[in-house]
Amino acid sequence: MNTQPIRQIAVIGAGLMGHGIALDYALAGFEVNLQDVDDQKLAQATAKIQATLQMLAAVGVVPRENAGAVGARIRAVRELQAAASPADLVIESVFEDLALKRGIFAELDQCCPPHTILASNTSSFPPTQLAAGVGRADKVIVAHYFNPPYLLPLVEVVKGEATSEETASAICALLTSVGKKPVLLKKEAPGFVGNRLQAALIREAMAIVSRGVADPKDVDAVLRYGFGRRLASAGVFELLDVAGLDLARAVASALLPDLDASNDVPAWFREKVARGELGAKTGQGFYSWTPESAAARGRELGLALLRISQFSDPARIVSPAAGPT
């Protein structure tokens, strides 16, 4: 086992995922350096962290008197070396660009102590590619969180060709200790497990709209009020067992030949993006949005995830810890 305890954590990249990962560890009692080269992103991340803590306090997840202490555990840092050099674990969470990530890993390799584990929150790149040119390839690993990291317990852990068992064990033990649900993949695969499943669902949803079977709002309603609710408490293979594999085989035999198998997004979807209809951030996507309605929907989703956590995994409800042991 890796006998070096993980006490200090650095998160590289203060965007949507980075600030949420930093908050998740701060909620668990860790001191976290949150680094970004963009001062504006650091300021926005700090504001979002404070707003999230207020929301968590309002619903009783974090005692109000502890919210300030949790926020104080996160230190905004502009220089990568200053953020990473004291860290036992660094989690990279920058834009999905392989060259950018490789450059950061090379820099981290130079400035971090020899024992430091270098993890990436990448949603697509295998760790073997990220470890190219890094002297500590045995300590490079993927720890892929889902948004928002402080509410969704899953973390996909992916070893590269050179990643040691000690590194994987140390990461899984850490994640378990802070209430996460690590899933250690058996091998590298583009998109890992979660994004591959989501991509398959999105492809068929697009095909349903393309064929005129239903519009986007109807597809969303089927998911929200139908089998999506079951998936909050049971996985696909467990549900197949409950339904009966003979029935599942009959349905699959009839339906699989008609499912979409295209390798590209539909033309209408590409045209929508080309028109600048990018969703909530531009005010128009499949739905119309204002800044107020987008913020309100975000709060509703957060509260829904909290309720699901209370139902399916009461032990996951966040409580401020005294610190790592």
pLDDT of residue 211: 97
DSSP state of 284: B
8 Å CB contact between 127 and 142: yes
User: Which DSSP string corresponds to 170-184?
Assistant: HHHHHHHHTT-EEEE
Give the CA radius of gyration of the chain.
21
Q: What is the mean pLDDT of the chain?
A: 92
Q: Is 123 noted as a catalytic residue in this protein? A: yes
The superfamily (CATH) of domain 200-312 is N-(1-d-carboxylethyl)-l-norvaline Dehydrogenase; domain 2 (1.10.1040.10)
Residues with Cβ within 8 Å of residue 17, at least 6 apart in sequence: 93, 121, 145, 147, 149
Point out the catalytic residue in the list 33, 144, 164, 309. Answer: 144
Point out the catalytic residue in the list 66, 169, 195, 210. Answer: 195
8 Å CB contact between 151 and 305: yes
- Average pLDDT value for residue range 274-293: 97
Burial 99-125 (b: 16+ CB within 10 A, else e): eebbebbeebbebbeeebbbbbbbbeb
pLDDT in tens, 196-247: 999 999 999 999 999 999 999 999 999 999 999 999 889 999 999 999 999 9
Q: Is 33 noted as a catalytic residue in this protein? A: no
pLDDT in tens, 38-66: 999 999 999 999 999 998 898 888 888 99
The DSSP element (H or E) to which 92 belongs, if any, is strand 89-92
| Model confidence band, residue 314 (pLDDT cutoffs 50, 70, 90) | low
Q: Is the domain covering 8-192 a CATH 3.30.70.890 domain? A: no
Sheet holding 140-145, edge to edge: 74-77, 31-35, 8-12, 89-92, 117-120, 140-145, 154-159, 181-184
pLDDT in tens, 166-181: 999 999 999 999 999 9
| Model confidence band, residue 313 (pLDDT cutoffs 50, 70, 90) | low
323 has a pLDDT exceeding 60: no
Return d(Cα 92, Cα 107) in angstroms, integer: 12
Point out the catalytic residue in the list 85, 120, 123, 309. Answer: 123
8 Å CB contact between 63 and 57: yes
- HSE of 209 in the Cβ direction (CA atoms, 13 Å)? 17
Tally helices (H) and strands (E) across the chain. 14, 8
| Model confidence band, residue 139 (pLDDT cutoffs 50, 70, 90) | very high
Point out the catalytic residue in the list 2, 92, 156, 309. Answer: 156
8 Å CB contact between 204 and 260: yes
Q: Is 79 noted as a catalytic residue in this protein? A: no
The DSSP element (H or E) to which 196 belongs, if any, is helix 194-210
317 has a pLDDT exceeding 60: no
- Side chain identity at residue 83, one-letter code: A
- Average pLDDT value for residue range 64-90: 96
Return d(Cα 141, Cα 128) in angstroms, integer: 8
pLDDT of residue 58: 87
Return d(Cα 302, Cα 315) in angstroms, integer: 18
**Residue ranges of the chain that CATH labels 1.10.1040.10:** 200-312
| Model confidence band, residue 318 (pLDDT cutoffs 50, 70, 90) | very low
| Model confidence band, residue 308 (pLDDT cutoffs 50, 70, 90) | confident
pLDDT in tens, 26-38: 999 999 999 999 9
**Residue ranges of the chain that CATH labels 3.40.50.720:** 8-192
Query: Residue 163, class by beta-carbon neighbours within 10 Å (0-12 exposed, 13-18 middle, 19+ buried)?
Result: buried
Nearest CA to 145 among 127, 158, 160, 164?
158
pLDDT of residue 312: 63
